[in-house]
Amino acid sequence: MYGRKACQLVKEFASGEKGQLTPFNNDLFDQVVAECSQHHGELQSLIRKMQEEGLDVQTARNADHYGALIHLFSIVRNKRCLTAYVYNRAETIRNLLWKIGPVIPKEIEEKLNHWEEEYFKKHSAALKSYMSKVLVDLTV
């Protein structure tokens, strides 16, 4: 069923304890991205078919048009779920920076993927740079 994996990804984050990270689910994330690619291929195929039949993609109301809409909305929904997953993890990482400081403990680092580790380091460096420029220590 379309969208089940994307929904599962969001539920996985939501079921975790607030303020705590679960390990980044690369497998499920990649499966949702692959599903988006599959939908995109089907969408392009349906649009190409309609154009070959001489139909206006914007105004035609046939089975191919509605099939294309299903694939388009599936892509949009999956992208929203992926964005929600990444955004909420990034927000948790930002909040952890304020709680634990600029050094990631090993037990938290193991739960981050490469991009999240980079985000933590760059966000920490930006905060440190800002505090040195305004001569104010914002850490608690």
Q: Which fold has domain 4-134?
A: Methane Monooxygenase Hydroxylase; Chain G, domain 1 (1.20.58)
Are the C-beta atoms of residues 102 and 126 closer than 8 Å to each other?
Answer: no
Question: Using one digit for the tens of pLDDT, what is the confidence trace for 21-78?
Answer: 999 999 999 999 999 999 999 999 999 998 888 877 777 788 888 999 999 999 999 9
Mean pLDDT, the chain, as a whole number?
90
Task: Identify the pLDDT of residue 63.
Answer: 86
Q: What Å distances lie between residue 132 and 6, 8, 104, 138, CA to CA?
A: 41, 42, 21, 10
**Residue ranges covered by each domain of the chain:** 4-134
Amino acid at residue number 46: L
What's the whole-model pTM score? 0.85
